[in-house]
Each structure stands twice: as C-alpha cells, then as structure tokens.
Structure 1
Amino acid sequence: MSAPPSGGGAPPGAIEVTRLLLHAQDPDPAVRHQAEQQIAAFQEQNYAGFLGSLAYELANGEKPPESRRLAGLVLKNNLDAKDDARKSALVGRWEGVDPSLRASIRGALLQALAMEPQEVRGTAALVIAKVAAIELPRRDWAELIPGLMANMSAAPPNHGVRQATLQALGYVCEEMGAMRDDVLSPEQINMVLTAVVSGMSAEEPSSDTRLAAVTALQNAIEFADHNFGNENERNYIMQHRGGEHGAVPRDEQAGVRRGGEVRHKGRLGC
C-alpha cells in the first residue's frame, strides 16, 4: 500500500486503496482473500486513516468508478449496522476520530455528491445520510443542509446532481424519521421540503429527479410533523408537486397524502 499522490487533497494518514478495493472483488479467491486481509489490517491499525482513505477514494475523479463506489460502501458499513451493539461501537469510533478529519470526510462526501458518474453520486448520498444520522443529533455538520440546498438552486441546473441531492435528502429524512427526538429545526425542515417540491415540479425535465423527489417526500413525512399535520400545508405541498402537467403520478400523490394522514393518526393513538 502506498501513499496517495500529493496535492490531491488527501487527508492525513490516507493511503492508496484503489487496488485493494478492486482486488477484494476479484473472482480469484486467493487474490480476494489477501486483499480482504490487508483491508482488515489497515482498518484495525489506523481506523482514522482508513476512513479518510475511503472518503478520498470516493471523491477522487481520477479513480475508477468501481473502486470509488466500493470505497463508499465500505465507508457506509463502518458507520452503521443492523446490530445495535455493533452500531453503537461504530458510532463511538467515528466520534473518536479527530474533528478536523471528520470535517475533511464530510467535505469529501459533499464533493462526491456533485461528481460524475451517477453511481458514485448515489453512493455518496447513502454515506452522507449515515454520517448525518450521527452528526446532526449532536448539532454538528451545520453546513450539510445549506450545502444540499446550494446543489438544488445552482444555475445552470445539473440534473444529475439534483437527482443525487434529492436522494441524499430522502436518505437523511429516513434516518431522521427513525429517531425519537426532533433533530432538524422547523426552518431546516421547510428548506428540505421546498427543495423536494422543486424537484417534483413540472418544470423539472428529468423523470429520475422527479422520482427521487417523490421518494424524498415520502420519507420526509416521517418527521415533518408540522407541515404534514396541517391539512392546508399538506395540500399546498401536493398542489405544487408538478403544476398542471402532472409531473408526479396521481397514485404517488395519493400515497404521500395517505402516508401523512396515517402517520399523524398513529401519533394520536386513533
């Protein structure tokens, strides 16, 4: 394993992991096993450098898309787990990483969200949500929501970036909806909903972007209590989902309405 090329913005302790990641997917069991052992050793011996290397790989446009995607998936799996004990341990390890390195990783994730190809953007969206699930409840990563909003309002619009940003917002909403406490402020929730509604607009030419917006809105129902608990506001959101041109199919609109109604009836115990 070698150090990454200088001048590329690699965080301290980062090393070259491209070959390791690709070899970990090699059809030859011997090659794959050796790469997996090296990755495990790096993770154990230098956890912070391991995370930084993965984030650097993901956000490095000179690397192969496959290794970038794999780097993102490995990074995601080091931030979350289905088993509660393991998840708690992973969160603790992340919180033990130097704040400046955590900030560098967060910056790399937002950078990757705006880079080609789309599969890398989509992977970055997944990782962003996992980091957000740890950081936002601690009132860290204050620049996340404004950064995502900037992607949505950029001119001229980049439809691939808008799609990935809406995916990230949807994943973040899903993570926030699973939490007991309110994490996002009412102002942040309104910003998210405004961005989502803009993605559902009939003026949005990309069907993939509109679909990502619908999914994000469905996830937002889980925590946007004020907006979806108020019938007038809920109707306003849905009326502006696509203008007169029906950018969002009627069955999806109805699903969002029903989801909001069921959610709030459930909260009241009805």
Structure 2
Amino acid sequence: MELTSILLGSQSNNEKERDQCLTLLENAQSENLSLFLKRLCEELNNEESPIEARQLAGLILKNNLYSHDENRRKELAEFWVSCKADYRQELKQQLFFALNSNSKQIRRTSAICVSVIASVEYPIGEWKSLFEDLIQLIEYFKNSKQVSEGVLVCLSFICEELGDENECSEISLILEPILNIIQQNEEEIEIRVASITTLLNSLGFVWEIFESKEDTQIIFNTIFSCIKNSENEQLIDLSFQCLVKIAYLYYPSLDPYMDDIFQV
C-alpha cells in the first residue's frame, strides 16, 4: 500500500483496516525511521494528496521530533542531530516548500514542524541561517500571500519554541519584513493578523531594536495603525497586547508615545 492510503486507512472506521494500517506505520517507523520521516515530508508536501493524509503525515512527523516528556524529547533531538546534514537539509527544504501550500492547514502544519526542528537545531548552532532562510523564502515568492502567511506563522511558532531564555539576536532580521508585510497588505486581514502575532511573539528577542529611536518609532506607528485603521477585533486585540508587552519589556521607550497610547 502507498503511504497516502495507509495514512487514510489508519483513521478508518473499519477496525480491521485501521489496525492493519497502524501496524504498517509502526513497522515503517521502527524499521527505518530516517526513511519514514522523509516519506512523511514528501506526503506533507504533495499537493495532490488529500488534506487529511497530509495533515496526519505532518502530525506523525512532529511527534517523531518532539515530545512533551523531557527525556523522550531529548532522545528525539539526539536522533535528529545524529542524522547527516544533507538529509536534514532535504527535509527542511520539503517543509519550506509546504509553507507555500494552497491549504492553510498544511501551511500551519509545516510551520509547526519547522519550528520544532528549529527548537532542536538553533540553540546548538546547527541552523544559523534560520531567519535568513525564511526571509529569502518570502523574497523568492515575492507576490505570494500564502507564502507570506506561512512564513509568518512559522516565525511565530519558532519564537514560542525558542523562548526568551535563548539568545536570539538574529531574530531582529525579521522585523523589517514583518512591518513591510503589515503595511503592504492593508486589505488582507489574515496576513496582518499573522504579522502582528509574529511581532508580538518576537518582542522578547529584539531589545537592540528598541535602542534605536527611529526603529522604535516604526514599530509604534505600525501598532497604532493596526488599532486605528482596522475594525478587526483580533487584530486590534493583538496590537494592544504588543503595547502591553513593550511596556513590560521596554518601559522607558513608551515615554514619547504616551499621548498616542491614551488616544487609542
């Protein structure tokens, strides 16, 4: 059976078919995990496969890279890092391609998988070009709104996965593309929401930006614009959350903007 059929069968209401397909998946995983993960990546990136099969492939992939159990998570991370660099790069490339999927669900699933890999590789210096790679993806697909949204969701997940305890000054590279996307997509609410969410999740890493009055002003102007020029409640709420987080992290930077804050 091909992987697509096995994945769909593993969710079947027919108990016999479901058990058979689950056994096939377990055997493939235990016999050759590297090959199994590669096949899952290919399935996730296959636009001709049903969404259900692709999402399940991404979920299984994620579960073989990350666990909430600390010991298991360490084992999975050690396995991934032990794989050859070319192999890891190939899988990451497949996941990047999936960020351009026609399906929002697949873009989100791929973004989660990328963020999990980033949480393993980036802290140990194995993916130093992470943020540059994501920016280049936006630039390569310059007119693709779905790539912009996919990358933004991915960046947001990455910020969550890395956490404030990780040194991540390179994340400041993403601020300009984020702010540009917000300004260039005034009518695209989903993209603006993804952008402001990413901005919110990245604020803990970009302290260097708030040492520049010019950069600080751009950030505040963007946030105020989202509040004043939108009727979308989610976008407005996220923008206010940005103000709250800036107040918590960079309180002195608020002083020149107090009148504006009171106005909104």
Q: Give me the TM-score of the superposition, normalised by structure 2.
A: 0.83
Q: Return the alpha-carbon distance in structure 2 between the equivalents of residues 234 and 77 of structure 1.
A: 39
Match of 2:6 in 1: 20
What is the aligned residue count?
Answer: 247
Equivalent residue, structure 2, for 1:39: 25
Q: State yes or no: 1:200 paired with 2:182.
A: yes
Partner of 1:181: 166
Q: How far apart are 1:201 and its partner, in Å?
A: 1.9
8 Å Cα contact 2:7-2:21 kept in structure 1: yes
Separation (CA, whole Å) in 1 of partners of 2:192 and 2:217 = 18
Alignment match of 1:212 (pick from 194, 198, 202): 194
After superposition, residues 221-232 of structure 1 pair within 5 angstroms as 221-228=203-210
Q: Would the aligned equivalents of 1:177 and 1:219 in 2 still touch at CA under 8 Å?
A: no
Q: Would the alpha carbon gap of residues 31 and 222 (structure 1) be closer, same or farther in structure 2, given more than 3 Å must change? A: farther
Tell which deviates more after alignment, 152-161 or 64-73.
152-161
- One-letter amino acid of the counterpart of residue 244, structure 2: R
Residues 17-38 of structure 1 deviation map (CA, whole Å, 9 limit, x = unaligned): 2111111111222221221121
| 1:61/1:233 CA distance change after superposition, 3 Å | same
Deviations 1:146-191 (A, max 9, x none): 232133335651112211111011111111225x230x3x3x3222
Deviations, residues 182-216 of structure 1 (Å, cap 9, x unaligned): 0x3x3x32221112212322644311000111111
2:58 and 2:151 mapped to 1: Cα distance?
16
Structure 1 stretches lacking a partner, 5+ long: 2-15, 266-270
User: SS state of the match for residue 240, structure 1?
Assistant: helix
Q: Scaled by the length of structure 1, what TM-score is found?
A: 0.82
Amino acid across the alignment from 1:73 = L
Identify which range, 70-79 or 255-264, moves more after superposition. Answer: 255-264
Q: 1:234 to 1:257 in 2, by over 3 A?
A: farther
Q: Could you list the structure 1 runs, at least 4 aligned residues long, displaced by more than 6 angstroms after superposition.
A: 229-232
**Where do 1:154-169 residues align within 5 Å?**
154=140, 157-169=143-155
Letter of the 2:63 partner, please give it. Answer: N
- Shift of residue 233, structure 1, vs aligned partner: 4.2
Q: What's the C-alpha RMSD, in Å, of the aligned pairs?
A: 2.4
Matched-pair contact (CA < 8 Å) for 1:110–1:147? no
Equivalence for 2:221: 239
Relative distance call for 1:229 and 1:254 in structure 2 (3 A) is: farther
What is the rounded CA distance, in whole Å, between the counterparts of 1:136 and 1:197 in structure 2?
24
Contact 1:152 1:162 in 2 (8 A): yes
Pairwise CA distance, 1:99: 2.1
Query: 1:1-270 to 2 correspondence within 5 Å?
Result: 1=1, 16-154=2-140, 157-178=143-164, 180-182=165-167, 184=168, 186=169, 188-201=170-183, 203-228=185-210, 233-241=215-223, 243=225, 246-247=229-230, 249-263=235-249
Aligned partner letter, 1:30:
K
Change (3 A) 1:31 1:242: farther
Q: Is the 8 A contact 1:193 1:217 kept in 2?
A: yes
Measure how far apart 1:231 and its partner are.
7.4
Question: Greater share of helix residues, 1 or 2?
Answer: 2
2 CA distance for matches of 1:78 and 1:132?
A: 14
Q: Which amino acid aligns with 2:53?
A: S
**Closer/same/farther in 2, CA of residues 174 and 194 from structure 1, 3 Å limit:** same
SS at match of 2:204: coil
CA contact 2:185–2:191 (8 Å) conserved in 1: no
Name the CA distance, whole Å, in 1 between partners of 2:217 and 2:117.
32
